[in-house]
A and B are shown apart, each in its own frame.
Chain A
């Protein structure tokens, strides 16, 4: 049957807003901070992803849900280097967000500049539900 993955549920717990409203959880519980802005004819999703390479960011839209994955290369351990503070994220991250309305996945575009990913998704008039990969320019 259609069993749900417990990790998906945990992710949804933090990634969605099950209790309604523009609730913001503690910074450490989120993988990345995002904005979802709605304009007349499109949605613009912006995500803070400082320090990633453009080619290591994967953006997918499927079934009204946008998933952003950013892979971080394993750091080369250097015996001479000593961390006095280590607050920045050093792991790969994934964040999913439900889009408020149907979008044209195939016409979506994404850019990465100054550590901020911007995904532009034109609103759909009809139904589209195919998974589609969005190139990061």
Chain B
């Protein structure tokens, strides 16, 4: 079946002959053209044009309507115009605000880039590690990094002990030194493992600790565990309990657990394996005064640096979004202005 719409496929392509025929103003030339096209293959061309022409005739038979009343203005309308002007300005305001945001983001992004380039080398892991290594040397004061909680140096002040029950290391010197001992120094072994608080890890951490060259256990507040033999003569040793040290007249040191020293058959104090150190809390990790911070801080610093860098903000995406929004609002404002002015 012939589709008359095919005659007007493109927006500006008009079949003048068909159009004239439909409107009843076709010339002889138009009629000849249409007949020849119908004969050439456009089946039903004339019939379709006839149907459309009848439709046009039907529409033209409709009488125009008259105004039912007068639309004359009783008084000059003024106030409504102001209200519409305010609304018409809204897209412009949005466009300006969005453009301002684009500018602010650009300025902020540039400032951030400059700041990062200036301060980029100051927070390298190597520099932080060196800094913390210096801190650890200050804290230990000797080659021997004590493993036990009693490994603290004498005279380090009143000891508050390790609150193992609480699962946190006190920030006091004893705890810090013990924690330092627990987590092997940079020259030590498995730092990550030693950070765990299990008894097994405790032992392994102790194993990784270097052989101490400090005074024998008896003089220390605490004693080394079995795995570390400070005594040249060998033999087993266990952790000295703070109360034991106190009985000896020395500082009690900090307490591994709450157990009292037991006396063995031979009269020597039986030193139980220390309770595992609790896991250091994140707060203590980044405590500048805490020895933990001095332990293999390279990783921590790296992580800290990563945290500071964070996920880069999608600045350019925000800028693009605001720019698009500004363009849309500007277009809406112009369209609205055109409508208001007709």
A joins B in a complex: no
Interface residues of B (CB under 8 A from A): none
Interface residues of A (CB under 8 A from B): none
